[in-house]
């Protein structure tokens, strides 16, 4: 059976927005405390709808990335900068320092080379999924565009490594079908290859971390999150108070490692997967958004329950953006 690309495009963008919306109320909480609030997360959502009334910067910037790709039928630096400046008027919800500080500089006409912040935060991996979708048939352009889209706001190599790996993972997952189990070895080989041969120390460090994630998939979710919550973080950036706890650090290497770990532990149901992602602890909305992009690319829109789609603010607009991006992809790559 042929891949239903529109279903996968829409699943990915909606996946980001559901993970972001569900994770938002838990941002900055340890996992243990989140789980002390309910026995059944589904029931908790139903009786606390007001808590889940919006998504945050992760979804906002993902939509601006998609718009920039639609305008240029692919990556174009000026379109990306223009769209990210537009985000300042949304206005940003829960923005990270790396994004807001660099984009404000871009707004005042400072070149991206000078405006980019040296942040290794999640601002680029969380917004990259449309690049993974649009370039899923053109991996060289995917890697190049993911890198370029990252360095215009974040000069830190952790941010670009995370963005490339997530975009590449999405392109890998888009062609996978639920009926046939995909190879975990092939998944890791593919994403690791995307950041190999760079001689960039932090990219090499990320490869070691990704291999550790692969070797530890037998751990429980709680134990895995404790192990990877602050992986790659260096002094003085540790959150010492949360060492040994499930509290995902807002550093790209740790957040992407945790999102991949939780996603791979939940390949049977989108709902279980997104619930675990959004309650990871620490930077929960971003683990939800990044992991949600992977889950959405794998499960597709048709396997996402309607009540989860309906919880997302402006979900009809997100579906419209997915359709427009899909149309440009079809035109460019002559997909029938």
In angstroms, the CA 17 to CA 24 distance is 10
Looking at the Cβ atoms of 65 and 194, the one nearer to Mg ion is 65
Distance CA 117, CA 22 (A): 28
| Binding region for Mg ion (CB under 5 A) out of 58-66, 111-119, 158-166, 199-207 | 58-66
Residue with the CB atom nearest Mg ion in the bound state? 56
**Of the two residues 28 and 244, which places its CB atom closer to Mg ion in the complex?**
28
Candidates 17, 56, 124, 229; binder of Mg ion (CB under 5 A) is 56
Residue of the chain from 58, 67, 83, 271 that contacts Mg ion (CB under 5 A): 58
If one asks whether residue 283 binds Mg ion (CB under 5 A), the answer comes out as: no
> Whole-angstrom Cα distance, residue 304 to residue 321?
18
Residue 303 contacts by C-beta under 8 Å, 6 or more apart in sequence? Answer: 11, 178, 270
Binding test (CB under 5 A) with Mg ion, winner from 7, 57, 83, 271: 57
- Binding residue (CB under 5 A) for Mg ion from 285, 295, 315, 326: 285
Which of 55, 22, 93, 26 is CA-nearest to residue 246? 26
Using CB under 5 A, which residues numbered 160 to 189 contact Mg ion?
none
Does residue 72 bind Mg ion (CB under 5 A)? no
Main-chain dihedrals φ then ψ at residue 6, nearest 5 degrees: -60, -40
b/e 209-242 (16+ beta carbons within 10 angstroms → b): bbeebbeeeebebbebbbbbbbbbbeeeeeeeeb
Contact window for Mg ion (CB under 5 A) among 98-106, 138-146, 267-275, 277-285: 277-285
Segment interacting with Mg ion (CB under 5 A) among 151-159, 244-252, 278-286, 305-313: 278-286
Q: How many of the chain's residues bind Mg ion (CB under 5 A)?
A: 5
Kindly identify the residues of this chain, within the stretch 76-105, that bind Mg ion according to CB under 5 A: 94
Query: Do 293 and 170 form a contact (C-beta atoms < 8 A)?
Result: yes
For the bound state, the minimum distance from the C-beta of residue 123 to Mg ion, rounded and expressed in Å, comes to 9
Chain residues in the site for Mg ion (CB under 5 A): 56-58, 94, 285
């Amino acid at each position: 059976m042929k891949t239903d690309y529109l279903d996968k495009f829409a699943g990915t963008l909606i996946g980001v927005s559901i993970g972001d919306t569900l994770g938002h109320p838990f941002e900055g909480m340890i996992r243990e405390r989140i789980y002390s609030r309910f026995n059944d997360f589904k029931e908790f959502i139903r009786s606390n709808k007001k808590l889940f009334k919006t998504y945050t910067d992760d979804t906002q910037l993902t939509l601006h990335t998609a718009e920039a790709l639609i305008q240029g039928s692919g990556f174009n630096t000026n379109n990306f900068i223009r769209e990210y400046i537009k985000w300042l008027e949304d206005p940003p919800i829960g923005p990270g320092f790396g994004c807001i500080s660099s984009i404000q500089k871009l707004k005042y006409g400072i070149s991206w080379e000078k405006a980019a912040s040296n942040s290794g935060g999640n601002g680029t991996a969380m917004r990259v999924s449309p690049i993974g979708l649009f370039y899923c048939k053109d991996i060289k352009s995917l890697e190049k565009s993911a890198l370029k889209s990252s360095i215009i706001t974040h000069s830190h190599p952790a941010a670009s490594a995370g963005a490339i790996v997530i975009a590449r993972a999405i392109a890998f997952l888009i062609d996978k079908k639920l009926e046939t189990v995909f190879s975990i070895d092939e998944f890791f080989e593919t994403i690791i290859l995307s950041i190999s041969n760079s001689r960039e120390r932090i990219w090499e460090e990320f490869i070691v971390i990704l291999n550790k994630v692969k070797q530890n998939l037998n751990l429980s979710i709680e134990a895995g999150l404790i192990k990877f919550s602050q992986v790659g973080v260096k002094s003085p950036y540790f959150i010492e108070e949360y060492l040994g706890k499930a509290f995902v650090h807002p550093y790209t290497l740790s957040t992407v490692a945790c999102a991949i770990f939780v996603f791979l532990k939940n390949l049977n149901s989108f709902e279980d997967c997104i619930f675990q992602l959004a309650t990871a602890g620490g930077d929960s909305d971003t683990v939800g958004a990044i992991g949600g992009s992977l889950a959405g690319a794998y499960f597709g829109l048709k396997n996402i329950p309607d009540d989860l789609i309906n919880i997302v603010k402006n979900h009809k607009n997100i579906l419209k953006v997915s359709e427009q991006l899909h149309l440009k992809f079809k035109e460019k790559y002559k997909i029938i």
